[in-house]
Structure 1
């Protein structure tokens, strides 16, 4: 119930002032595997201690280059910290260098050692001890280098130098110039880097093995019913030794309770240099099926065993057993039943200040917040997401549409199409075991391309993942006649044989240039715009529930505010801002979740939210978002009004409830001003189901700003002491009673002591931070030492009647994986790479660029609700 939820939230604010550990620490995969104890595979955190230089510099690839004056940072890393409002190609684009000194531990004698980069933005060139060993084009998919093949041995001192360049480049996807792009090419090694050591008889990396529908571990399924499920496990192993080897491939299937339900073994003989794929099948009786609302996961524990039983290599693959069917006009069926409508959002990997350089914990928290908001499907925009986000979607119960990198750009050079095909193969091989993957979008979004490209993209998808469902815009070449699902609108039902899904709903702009719209509202604009946005998105949400089964759902564009390339304003259409602070529209989304739903991770149950601040400028109407049957509004402790939630057969589950013309500031002020009874000024809202009160909430108008209050936005997780994990701390301005002063205008100065540091400084408006709609966030990053962290907040200009300061104390915990580094990153390194990067087009260049945008937006449709 919401009453209980409010109590829990308030209690957490109290307890979060002295937290020693989080309530839940999610696990994350590395190169597709979760850790398997004593498997022979060792994974080290390679993120710490990179020397960094932004710009061109001669000789940085050489082993003896003097980098002693460079800054020391940790990855995930961005080449430039930016203000939370820095859209319009204000970010740095160009060259940057990373160099890491390290020594191979003697314990790795006889191992194959790989350095695995989850992604680096743009063009990457990797040098090992001065020798070029890898070049990778594209900013969203992994690549790796094997140290062993270049003669590196345990005990050796090594230097890896990585050149990265996020400049515009038409030769590889996405290819589009950032000045005409609707998102931002934030630079750097912005995802994790790992060192992976395995035996020389090992499970292959699917992208390095480069086998169609092969390499690594690939789990597929035969018949699936509620009584019986066939699980087929393909394991690809290779022998890098100079002699023949006889091994056993063992796969254990472990059910969601942790019980081993089947052990499969196969003996294999490998000649030197040979690789083989082993197929094993298991039948599961009465399987626990995966649903978005009960995302039960099995584990496949894979081991390669020597003749003496020693484990040479292994890992865990998490899987969910589920059957998906797109039955065209009969809709989408899950596990043999007609599915509920799939409503969710698109997702860019963009966060305030740090751009794309988000730690795994924040990717998980993003997924959690989206699930709490009722999202049951995520379309990635417009590239594969961080592996940890995919892990989270499996666990939290959200379907995902995975898209290849691309947006409104086509290069006729055949090499470009070839690189897109490579991306399709790589993203499928990376993500194919994720239960959350529902469909693949293998073409380039909103792009005019030739028919043969569309057909080839689908062919590659089907060969890499037999039986996969492909989805794309119905008006793109070859899609309507060949793809399993088409992007379209509810009105398109009947025009196609396939199921229809709306890839981006909610937009209501006036034109491509101005982008004025009532669905985009900065949280800083306050109550009126936030309510307007929420109600406009409610209209768009309602359109996702037409009559008939063929239309299966849609994804909001876009749940989080983010930076863009071609427009000076950030995208403010999110239901949360760039720090993931909720707007009114978040609660509108959340109110669409059934009050009866129970979920193992998501916040569910009956809820009511009052979208009204009882301020001098508030609307006469009081709007309430709820998932209950009816709402009781009690004003000033005496006036009682009741309204039902007016539901329609075809429409959103729970439309907003609006009490018309019930608030008048001039009348309300009689209580505090004349009668001196300000305590009477309350709104109490109760949610009723079957005539019974199941939840309630109370709101009072905020009085004078008197206190600051701090809380952690950690979703129960503890901060990891790895020098890259961060956590938002939220400072709110309140009155004496704890009511948030939404109209406060203050600058909050943060300081931190202990094992943490503040990300950003005054240059980017991070510290001090301006209060917006009652709050000011700060990002706290861990050091390498687990321990206590104390954050202190005060107003910048203090005085007798200024709000009193606040502090919060919590602890970071040690990382699970061993860190590999020889140099510690600087503390308070933020000022090193913040600041403005100046680049300015001429007026003629700007006009030409914006004319290009106008042409493309006219063709593909910026006004996405039509």
Structure 2
């Protein structure tokens, strides 16, 4: 009956508001295992994400070649073991074993190549089997690991099976170690980052984590003198000879500008015996370099080539670098490139997204960074683990400093092996991320954790061994930090109590008590105008506290710019300036208003802005709050009353405090215009931003009338959808009136359908489709297939009638990926369906109370010291 109903519906609906979105704008590149693609270098990179057989749960013998997996789903990575509702905190996600099996045939074209399968990350404990044989086991969910097909006898033309069992269960033996029931984030499972197949010559650049050389392996770019007149670039290149013959090689490094123009070239000869590896160091002096700043993030390319004696390329890749000099001068603050730096204000970042958990494609990591940068964030502290490599690439490009943290939160295991695994994580994260100009500091300890002094000191020593001259940061009251670390986490009140620079790792929280977690800085977007306004003003207050006069205090990171899932609490964290779909709240515009109006940036959305945080609804406040980066605001009410206020900078430390016009709006007075005079068009607020007395921007807000239309838009920051089977984009459906004003009080359910080369992520079980309208809009996630082509998304209200809003549709195209896809089986449409019920039992009241007591003790301990 259901199918018949849908068929009849599509015949009956004949009126659509349709738009076609053409592709333009900017399509970013992403690195693989630290390198961007260098044409004709001898290195080939293949997309290994497509065509994995997947089963949630444990199965005996699933590693064997002859195991029958024909009944399993076929999926693409990045992949989550379970789709979840947008509100899925409180330990509702699947924890346990899941299996992935990939059948493929190694191409004959890869003869005489070294073949590695590179996993960017998989959650928890991972065991990899090759043709039924156990190859490796990896502990931890946030750092890469790889296997060599060549070393295990796989030749071109061979049929292969890679089986991976992943387990995101609670496990105290490796970091983070803390059970999810007492954890402030969630262990979403699966092979949730990219998998690549990398083909190189027998002579090739080493993988720094596999090579395991202190401050070595791979390509490591360091710097000597840096000024506006000269920069000394030191390039260390580690090469291995996996052949049976001695080799005479040339190691070539070329510095090119952003347009690809070669600026400087250095070459070294290198002799390698069979199975020998060596590191060679080269220095390049660059005159009048363009330095890297957050507001001008200029990037050079280091093109590395390993050449045979006759000049034939054997291996190579591009390392993207930004030349900058960071100094922490204690009471004199942060200096960048020889000049005092502005305060760094930004946010923390967890990596999860609505529905898909951690299985976020590279494009969405870049969009997250772009949205944070548009909101004025100049620093991100990763929480509480290394982020996806594509996010780091984006921060380099967008000008966001990053504080990189080792995995950990409020848990210490006294078993010495636990500390050794943390030390391994520190080494691996530094080796992975050391070339990123965005890396400001390393946080090599466990967040909010009581650990021994010996651990604190050794973590710092490992950091400096792996990256000489880098900087460590941690809580000032943790053992060994105040006396030894280069920067401390603290608060403006701590100025003068320490010799180091001070940074606030998490600002903005204002909870009533740990158990309840009620607070005026946490507001679900669905709660509407008043809650969002209160949140934005509370965060403005907290933002302002990050601007004491002292230069010793260098800035702070909001906790947390995106709503996200948590393990120990039934509510998601709703303190984001954007929700879990990255739709903005009022507080987003408060943050954005702190960006200087005259700022020019190659990729940010910049310029004068003004935003009215008021919906002119029956329930709106009498006061009208405006966020702007201009000098003053002119508010025109109902087209006749003109009110002007200066931005009250003299009363605050923050760049652009909110402007509030008192007692401007009363519903009973407003309704005279449309009800009595029949002049509803007069009801509006116009806010004009003025600089030096001139209007430089303006915006108009009108009250929404009856819901008449749906409107679709793509939230893609100008990027096209990649046809790789895992990329996705949000499509936003808004309910509007005749004039296009969003009906913020609309309460509809939107049903989405799709045609062409895409699929809708999720279904009614998780509230994805149909989707409830919240604050005027309903998002849907559209995932690509592996075939580039046209995609058409349609939206209608779930139950239609003569006066229901008119449906809408939108069309766009996906494009082919840059890397060749390696697969034998195509992924299914509607992969990764949601569970129909909870996967595990409820805890008893006694069990819950015991867990909550444990967390409250820890939260209180660190909260008091904040």
Question: TM-score range, shorter-chain basis?
Answer: over 0.9
| Alpha-carbon distance in 2 for matches of 1:27, 1:274 | 33
CA deviation map 1:446-493 (0-9, x unaligned): 000000000000000000000010000000000000000000000100
Task: Decide which of 590, 593, 596 is 1:588's aligned counterpart.
Answer: 590
Note the alpha carbon deviations across 1:252-293, whole angstroms, 9 max, x for none: 011234221111101111000100001000001000000000
Kept after mapping to 2: 8 A contact 1:761/1:830: no
| 1:78–1:354 Cα contact (<8 Å) kept | yes
Q: Matches of 2:599 and 2:19 in 1, distance apart?
A: 31
Distance in 1, Cα, partners of 2:852 & 2:478: 24
- The unaligned stretches of length 5 or more in structure 1 are 1-13
Shift of 1:844: 1.1
Contact 1:270 1:276 in 2 (8 A): yes
Indicate conservation of the 8 Å contact 1:610/1:622, yes or no: yes
Q: How does 1:517-556 map to 2 (within 5 A)?
A: 517-556=519-558
Q: Which SS does the other structure have where 1:17 is aligned?
A: strand
CA distance in 1, matches of 2:50, 2:667: 56
Matching of residues 365-384 of structure 1 within 5 Å: 365-384=367-386
SS in 2 for 1:49: strand
Residue number in structure 2 paired with 1:661: 663
Instruction: State the alpha-carbon separation in 2 of the partners of residues 330 and 609 from structure 1.
Output: 36
CA distance in 2, matches of 1:114, 1:397: 32
- 2:306 maps to 304
Alignment partner, residue 131 of structure 1: 133
User: Once the two structures are superposed, what CA deviation does each residue of 1:370-406 show, in whole Å capped at 9, x if it has no partner?
Assistant: 0000000000000000000000000000000000000
Cα deviation, 1:603-623, whole Å, max 9, x if unaligned, reads 111000000000000000000
CA distance in 2, matches of 1:82, 1:484: 41
> Which residue, 249, 253, 256 being the options, matches 1:254?
256
CA displacement, residues 311-361 of structure 1 (integer Å, 9 cap, x when unaligned):
000000000000000000000000000000000000000100000000000
Displacement of 1:17 in angstroms is: 3.2
Within the alignment, does 1:185 sit opposite 2:187 as a pair? yes
2:116 paired with 1:114: yes
Q: Is the 8 A contact 1:141 1:426 kept in 2?
A: yes
Conserved in 1, the CA contact under 8 Å of 2:75 and 2:832? no
Whole-Å Cα distance in 1 between the matches of residues 393 and 156 of structure 2?
33
Q: Conserved in 2, the CA contact under 8 Å of 1:16 and 1:711? A: no
1:747 corresponds to: 749
Pick aligned residue for 2:511 from 509, 518, 522: 509
2:283 counterpart residue number: 281
Question: Which residue, 552, 559, 562 being the options, matches 1:560?
Answer: 562
Cα deviation per residue 1:685-729 (whole Å; 9 max; x = unaligned)? Answer: 000000000000001000000000000000000000011000000
CA distance in 2, matches of 1:829, 1:836: 19
2:762 aligns with 760
Q: 2:785 & 2:130 partners in 1: Cα distance?
A: 28
- Determine whether 1:477 maps to 2:449: no
1:292-321 CA distance string (max 9 Å, x none): 000000000000001121100000000000
Q: Give the 5 Å matches for 1:602-613.
A: 602-613=604-615
Task: Give the aligned partner of residue 17 of structure 1.
Answer: 19
Q: Give me the whole-angstrom Cα distance separating, in 2, the residues matched to 1:834 and 1:507.
A: 35
> What per-residue deviation string (whole Å, max 9, x for no partner) do you get for residues 172-207 of structure 1?
000000000000000000000000000010000000
CA distance in 2, matches of 1:98, 1:16: 40
Aligned to 2:9: none
The C-alpha deviation readout for 1:479-512, integer Å capped at 9, x for no partner, is 0000000000001000000000000000000111
**Which residue number corresponds to residue 92 of structure 1?**
94
Kindly state the Cα deviation for residue 649 of structure 1 after the two structures are TM-superposed. Answer: 7.5
Secondary structure of the 1:79 match is coil
CA contact (8 A) 1:596 1:605 kept: yes
Report the alpha carbon displacement of residue 15 of structure 1 after superposing the two structures with TM: 13
Equivalent position SS for 2:40: coil
- Contact conserved, 2:218 with 2:238, CA < 8 A, in 1? yes
Give the match for residue 461 of structure 1: 463
- Cα distance in 2, alignment partners of residues 547 and 382 from structure 1: 30
Trace 1:162-241 onto structure 2 (pairs within 5 A): 162-241=164-243
For 2:672 and 2:857, locate their aligned partners in 1 and report how far apart those are by CA, in whole Å: 57
Query: Which residue, 696, 703, 706 being the options, matches 1:704?
Result: 706
**Alignment match, 1:322:** 324
Alpha-carbon distance, 1:20 to partner? 4.2
CA distance in 1, matches of 2:93, 2:514: 22
Aligned to 2:6: none
Q: Is the contact made by 1:324 and 1:334 (CA closer than 8 Å) also made in structure 2? A: yes
The 1:225–1:834 alpha-carbon spacing in structure 2 relative to 1, beyond 3 Å, is farther
Report how many aligned residue pairs link the two structures.
851
Do 1:20 and 1:812's aligned partners in 2 also have CA atoms closer than 8 Å?
A: no
Does structure 1 residue 637 correspond to structure 2 residue 639? yes
Shift of 1:832: 5.9
On the 8 A contact 1:82/1:835 being kept in 2, the answer is no
Aligned to 1:849: 851
Quick one: distance in 2 between partners of 1:499 and 1:648? 26
| Unmatched 5+ stretches in structure 2 | 1-15
In structure 2, the residue matched to 1:828 is 830
Residue 7 of structure 2: aligned partner: none
Matched ranges for 1:60-79 at <5 A:
60-79=62-81
Structure 2 CA distance for aligned equivalents of residues 463 and 252 of structure 1: 27
Question: Cα deviations across residues 104-129 of structure 1 (Å, max 9, x unaligned)?
Answer: 00010111100000000000000000
2:48 to 26, 46, 66: 46
Q: Secondary structure at the match of 2:533?
A: helix
Cα separation, 1, equivalents of 2:406 and 2:650: 38
Per-residue CA distance 1:77-126 (angstroms, 9 max, x = gap)? 00000000010000000000000000100010111100000000000000
CA contact (8 A) 1:490 1:543 kept: yes
Pick from 552, 573, 576: which aligns with 1:574?
576
CA distance in 2, matches of 1:333, 1:834: 54
In structure 2, which of residues 413, 416, 423 is the aligned counterpart of residue 414 of structure 1? Answer: 416
616, 619, 631: which one aligns with 1:617: 619
Q: 1:37 aligns to what? A: 39
CA distance in 1, matches of 2:783, 2:97: 26
Question: What CA distance in whole angstroms lies between the structure 1 residues aligned with 2:316 and 2:474?
Answer: 37
In the alignment, the residues of structure 2 paired with residue 263 and residue 650 of structure 1 have an alpha-carbon distance, to the nearest angstrom, of 51
Shift of 1:838: 2.9
8 Å CA contact 2:334–2:554 kept in 1: the answer is yes
CA distance in 1, matches of 2:189, 2:691: 51
Distance 1:810 1:816, change over 3 A: same
What's the C-alpha RMSD, in Å, of the aligned pairs? 1.2
Q: Give, in angstroms, the shift of residue 21 of structure 1.
A: 2.5
* Structure 1 residues 490-547: Cα deviation after superposition (integer angstroms, max 9, x where no partner): 0100000000000000000011100000000000000000000000000000000001
CA contact (8 A) 2:17 2:807 kept: no
Q: CA deviation at 1:19?
A: 3.0
Residue 9 of structure 1: aligned partner:
none
CA distance in 1, matches of 2:367, 2:258: 22
Q: TM-score when scaled to structure 1? A: 0.97
Any conservation in 2 of the 1:229–1:284 contact (CA below 8 Å)?
Answer: yes
What's the CA shift string for 1:22-62, capped at 9, x where partnerless? 41110000000000000000000000000000001100011
Q: Partners of 1:633 and 1:222 in 2: how far apart? A: 53
C-alpha separation in 2, matches of 1:472 and 1:592? 27
Q: Which moved more, 1:136-145 or 1:17-26?
A: 17-26
- Given that residues 42 and 316 in structure 2 are in contact (C-alpha distance below 8 angstroms), is that contact kept between their aligned partners in structure 1? yes
Q: For residues 330 and 650 of structure 1, do their structure 2 counterparts lie closer, same or farther at Cα, with a shift above 3 Å needed?
A: farther
Distance 2:313 2:64 in 1: 38
Distance in 2 between residues matched to 1:144 and 1:810, nearest whole Å: 36
* Residues in 1 aligned to 2:252 and 2:831: alpha-carbon distance in whole angstroms: 47
